[in-house]
Amino acid sequence: MLPFVLHGAYIAIARGYASAQPAVVAVAAMFVFSLVGHMEYRFLYPLLPIGFMYAAVSINSLVSTLPRGLDTGKKSSKDSMGAKTKRWRLWSVRNIIAYLLVTNVPASLYLNLVHQRGVVDVMAYLRSEAQNHLVEDIGFLMPCHSTPYYSHLHQPIPMWFLSCEPPLEKSALATHYCEANDFELDPVGFMHRIFDSKDSGAQDVVEQRYQPGQTRRKPSHLVMYECMADRIHSELVLLGYSECARFFNTHFNGDSRRKGDVV
């Protein structure tokens, strides 16, 4: 779609079909978003209507523009010219549709059915295990919000994940405690501090609200990425954990904390 957007923006502005203001807004927004440390694809969704508008201009132009020989004054009957023009436009539409299908459908299938599917598959597995009364509680030792939550579990099983709430005041940024960062820097030390050594639990229900870093009982199941499981394998064994399932997640990931399968 991007080639159509760029082409459409060029001809729309050059020929006066549309204002340059939407393009300026889109470029400025993308520039500002690029300066922010926290980036997500969903931040760009509001810009899609602008892109679709320019893409429509491009496609309309490609379909309407006749090739050399059809738009010149060659001696030909009016009916013949009309038939050739119709065939050309039909051929253009078919090629554009084919291009959009070839460039979008494979990517859509891969991104929806293969890429990062492990974080969803693990919740389906846990739901099945919970239905068979094989899960007491679950802890997620991974970057916060890595997996779906109760929307996929559909069971009243206590769960918790590493907190990553930002500070309310900018002045507190330097001293703010982030549980996810603490775990990433020293996972073994974090587990020693976070899990109650007596396993009686400072709180009997893991799902209750607790302060970041507060002691809690050791859950029956832990979920993490393969890269972290390899780092703390010895500690997990000492705590009595063993691998019960593994799910392919992705072929590539730009975040080093999310490398490998979901374990």
Cβ(58)–Cβ(11) below 8 Å: yes
And the tokens for 21? 């203001």
- Contacts for 163-169: CB closer than 8 Å, 24+ residues apart: 163/212, 165/212
Mean pLDDT along residues 71-81: 53
Cβ(210)–Cβ(194) below 8 Å: no
Q: What is the pLDDT of residue 217?
A: 86
Which 3 state secondary structure label does DSSP give 221? strand
Among candidate residues 17, 22, 223, the one with its CA nearest the CA of residue 138: 223
Q: What is the pLDDT of residues 150-191, one digit of tens each?
A: 999 998 988 999 988 877 777 777 777 888 888 999 999 999
Cβ(146)–Cβ(258) below 8 Å: yes
pTM of the model: 0.74
